[in-house]
């Protein structure tokens, strides 16, 4: 039964799976940690709330991740069979593909927005942040350089362009995650150490946004437009602009890290900057509509929050605006 154990047990298994993957000295341990993450996250999706939307998201997630796990174990077998340096190119190619399927990066991203759309904000936060740690660490250790280079640029462009016509906040965050993960894998190609700093700062901004949406209980952009409370809009869009990398907000510092790494690769940097400017254009257009089109009467039943929650949201927004993060973290 899914509800026999409390959700905290499954969260413990997710954390354990990640620790096993990133600290294992064997390929089998890496695969075992990935399976721990997969098995533990599915009950969290549908625990205590067995509706059709959650069940569909759980089935899609299980099928895609199971196929990716099979490809991972197949590439591991090839690693053991072929020990020649030139012969491991194929296993690295297969492993890179399988891990990108697990991450939901373009062109293997079709399942990712659909699964996120069926989750609650708390579960979306886990999938958008913690579940990406193990595959990214493994990619930084074993990857096919040519494939990683091409798909990183493709992911940045697809993530930016696909978010232009979205009104669901979950899908907006999902496509933003695809674009940012493309940036991270691009940095991995040129520098295997700097990407960790990028990942930490970016995930902090993602956590802040998910907490805000969870507190206010909104899921679509229309709910932002239809509220007349300016404070809510200000809190949301400051954090969205930070996610888009607008200086001098906190989200700009990961981009600064990427610029410092890729400054000698001008063509690549131009493509990545174009993807970020596209995202910022979309956020600016949403902000303009939200502040110019407002209604005093709500159509959706938005969650009312007390002064304590409002204070917490302001603190999170202040963290996004100011440089509270130590500068030593972003040292190259």
Positive/negative CA dihedral, 288, 293, 296, 297: negative
User: CA-to-CA distance for 206 and 244, rounded, in angstroms?
Assistant: 11
Q: Are 147 and 202 in contact (CB under 8 A)?
A: no
Torsion angle of C-alpha atoms 175, 178, 184, 189, degrees rounded to 10: -140
Q: Is the pLDDT of residue 74 over 80?
A: yes
Enumerate the β-bridge partners of residue 168.
220
pLDDT in the model for residue 67: 92
Q: Is the pLDDT of residue 321 over 70?
A: no
| Cα separations in angstroms, 191 against 18, 23, 105, 188, 268 | 22, 20, 20, 5, 15
What is the reported pTM?
0.84
pLDDT tens, 179-226? 888 888 888 877 777 888 888 888 888 888 888 888 888 888 877 777
User: CA-to-CA distance for 27 and 38, rounded, in angstroms?
Assistant: 17
Closest-CA residue to 228 (of 301, 303, 291, 296): 296
Better pLDDT: 291 or 37: 37
Q: Is the pLDDT of residue 302 over 60?
A: no
Q: H helices of the chain, where?
A: 7-23, 27-46, 52-81, 89-103, 111-117, 121-128, 133-141, 145-162, 169-190, 194-216, 221-225, 230-244, 252-262, 266-292, 307-321
pLDDT in the model for residue 64: 92
User: CA-to-CA distance for 262 and 255, rounded, in angstroms?
Assistant: 10
Q: Is the pLDDT of residue 299 over 50?
A: no
- Percentage of residues in the chain with pLDDT exceeding 90? 5
Closest-CA residue to 112 (of 43, 159, 48): 159
User: CA-to-CA distance for 52 and 66, rounded, in angstroms?
Assistant: 21
């Amino acid at each position: 039964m899914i509800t026999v154990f409390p959700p905290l047990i499954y969260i413990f298994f997710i954390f354990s799976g990640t620790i096993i993957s990133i600290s294992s000295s064997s390929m089998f341990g890496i695969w075992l940690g990935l399976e721990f993450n997969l098995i533990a996250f599915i009950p969290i999706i549908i625990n205590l709330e067995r509706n059709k939307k959650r069940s569909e998201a759980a089935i899609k997630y299980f099928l895609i991740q199971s196929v990716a796990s099979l490809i991972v174990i197949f590439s591991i077998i090839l690693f053991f069979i072929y020990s020649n340096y030139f012969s491991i190119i194929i296993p690295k190619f297969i492993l890179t593909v399988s891990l990108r399927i697990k991450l939901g990066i373009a062109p293997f991203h079709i399942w990712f927005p659909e699964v996120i759309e069926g989750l609650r904000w708390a579960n979306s936060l886990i999938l958008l942040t913690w579940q990406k740690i193990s595959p990214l660490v493994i990619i930084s250790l074993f990857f096919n350089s040519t494939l990683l280079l091409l798909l990183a640029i493709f992911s940045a462009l697809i993530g930016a362009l696909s978010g232009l016509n979205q009104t669901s906040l979950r899908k907006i965050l999902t496509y933003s995650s695809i674009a940012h993960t493309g940036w991270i894998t691009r940095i991995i190609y040129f520098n295997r150490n700097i990407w960790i700093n990028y990942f930490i700062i970016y995930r902090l901004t993602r956590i802040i946004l998910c907490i805000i949406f969870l507190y206010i209980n909104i899921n679509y952009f229309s709910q932002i437009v239809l509220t007349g409370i300016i404070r809510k809009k200000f809190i949301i869009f400051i954090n969205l602009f930070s996610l888009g990398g607008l200086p001098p907000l906190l989200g700009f510092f990961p981009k600064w890290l990427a610029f410092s790494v890729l400054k000698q690769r001008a063509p690549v940097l131009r493509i990545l900057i174009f993807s970020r400017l596209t995202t910022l254009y979309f956020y600016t257009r949403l902000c303009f509509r939200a502040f110019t089109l407002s209604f005093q009467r709500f159509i959706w039943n938005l969650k009312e929050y007390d002064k304590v929650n409002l204070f917490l949201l302001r603190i999170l927004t202040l963290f996004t605006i100011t440089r509270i993060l130590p500068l030593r973290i972003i040292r190259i």
